[in-house]
Amino acid sequence: MKKKVVLFFPSPLPYSRQWKGVPLALLAISRVLDKEKYEIIIITRFNHENPELEVLKQVKDAICLGISAMTGFQIKDGLKIAKIVKQKYPNLPIVWGGWHPSILPTETLKNKYVDIVVKGEGDRTFPELVHALEKKSDLKLVKGIGFKKKGKMIFTSTRPLEDINDLPSLPYHLIKVDQYIFGTEYGKRTLPYISSYGCPHRCGFCVEQIVNQRKWVAQKSERVVSEWENLIKRYNIDSIAVYDSNFFVDEDRVYKICNSLNKKKYRIKWGNANGRVPQLVKYNQRTWKAMEKSGCSMILTGAESGSQSALDLIEKDMNVDEIIKFTRLCKKYHIKILYSFLVGLPWSKDQKENENFINREYQATLSLIAKLLKISNRNRYTYYIFLPYPGAPLFDRAVDLGLKIPRNLVGWSEYLMSPEDAFNTVINQRWITAKQARLTAMLTQYIFGLMDNDTYGVIKQRVPKGIKRFLFVNAYQLGLTLAKLRWKFKFFDYPIDYRIFVLVHQYTGLV
């Protein structure tokens, strides 16, 4: 048998919406095996016309098939592939990892198309598992997994989060990188990257504290800069999207990264880096200046709500005034903010109390956003309906208040609500009405989306020149005018224009 491993990254989105992104999780679990000269085959729906046939072709002589999945559609897509493989190669081990198997390993392992689960970060666990499968040695010796044996489920001890500086760099050469490079508002050739694992904070909606026990490990600043330098030279990129759960935990590390980039005089932009407002407002001026000079173009942060009651409920350890201060700081240093807000928290068993609480949430948050827009008009605001993620602290509260949850892996594949079409999507939680859900999607996609000039520029470049671009520009300007009027007068009823916007999005994928 060849030293070969096949990995499949299921689509996070329904098949009608093409997903394009680097499967960082699969690169991470491949880094050790790649150094050991294993043949690693990574398959996604984006880079294969018929992934089902490609998987069947490649697993014929493989040690195992690995599938990474978060809760939601990735489970559905992963199960589709696993079923096809299991029917043709019943003895081939199918290994599931990622957020969902880490959070609900027992429930995941119960499914007949799952042979082994990896709990937590798989960078070290998966290679050890592959070695054990290859040598047919005892799986009980591999930390951080669950497996089936003679009809019983066996789970090994938890593997602690290790120093990722002891691991090789991500093996981007395993994928055709040019197929995954995309344009953003801060670059024409942007490549995703990750420099740390975990987060030390306690947000009530987040499962980081379950998966990584509120620990945080990060690559040293010198290594980050060295890897960015390699990516710039090797793939001719002009920007990097940082996908850490929390990039800004260590201010000294951030400063050293930025200062080193400045000394090397790279013309690189970087953005999407996730950070917490209370932490960043305490950064000293030296760090902010270094960030700006180094090309920091956008910070992603969870503002969550303009309601202090809501912030306290989710244990955000933040106050509204800090959000305002943070916005002023980012404007001063010319850094765009991608704000994320939540609505529909589990407040009470009484439906009327919930409705009143959500109305207050809306009023407080929209009032806050109005203030932030007066400070700067270049930030982006995204609004999401809160749906408890299994394992997060607020999940148990939601269940106590009546949330109906799936009881098997198939059920979890349809748990997360996509706001893509708020007119037709079933709402999976009881604290928000269909009308309120539609307003949330309308604000994010239509009103705040069209008011983001940077996004407009990115989308415009995707439209071919000529009549199509002419139609796009004029339709966009009409939509923007209507969106601005709705926002100005806070009039969100009779959303015929939004309905048209949704249809355009569904059939063109442009906005």
Q: Is the pTM of this model over 0.85?
A: yes
- Going by C-alpha positions, the residue among 240, 241, 243 that lies closest to residue 229 is 240
Residue 256, pLDDT above cutoff 90: yes
Residue environment code for 52-61, b if the CB has 16+ CB neighbours within 10 A, otherwise e: eebbbebbee
pLDDT of residue 73: 93
In Å, how far from its chain's centre is CA 378?
22
Q: Where do runs of H (alpha helix) occur along 113-220?
A: 125-135, 177-180, 208-211
Give CA–CA dist 252/286, Å, rounded: 11
Sign of the Cα torsion 457, 459, 461, 463 reads negative
What does the DSSP assignment read for 231-268?
HHHHH--SEEEE--S-TTS-HHHHHHHHHHHHHHT---
For 16-58, write each residue's pLDDT tens digit: 777 788 999 999 999 999 999 999 999 999 888 899 999 999 9
Q: Which residue has the tokens 């096949």?
A: 6
For 440-496, write each residue's pLDDT tens digit: 889 998 999 999 988 787 788 778 889 888 888 898 899 999 999 999 999 999 999
Read off the pLDDT of each residue in 130-157 and give the average, rounded to a whole number. 97
| Most confident among 181-190, 292-301, 406-415 (mean pLDDT) | 292-301
pLDDT of residue 420: 47
- Note the CATH architecture for domain 4-148: 3-Layer(aba) Sandwich (3.40)
Percent of the chain with pLDDT over 70: 95
- CA distances from residue 382 to 57, 301, 355 in whole angstroms, order as listed: 41, 10, 21
Options 3.20.20.70, 3.40.50.2300, 3.40.50.620, 3.40.50.300; CATH of 181-386? 3.20.20.70
Residue 194 phi/psi, 5-degree rounding, is -135, 135
Read off the pLDDT of each residue in 417-446 and give the average, rounded to a whole number. 70
Range in 28-42, 214-228, 398-412 with the lowest mean pLDDT? 398-412
Percent of the chain with pLDDT over 90: 73
For 236-248, write each residue's pLDDT tens digit: 999 999 999 999 9
What length is written for the chain?
511
- In the chain, domain spans: 4-148, 181-386, 432-511
Q: Tokens in use for 352?
A: 């009327």
CB 97 within 8 A of CB 29: yes
Give CA–CA dist 99/210, Å, rounded: 10
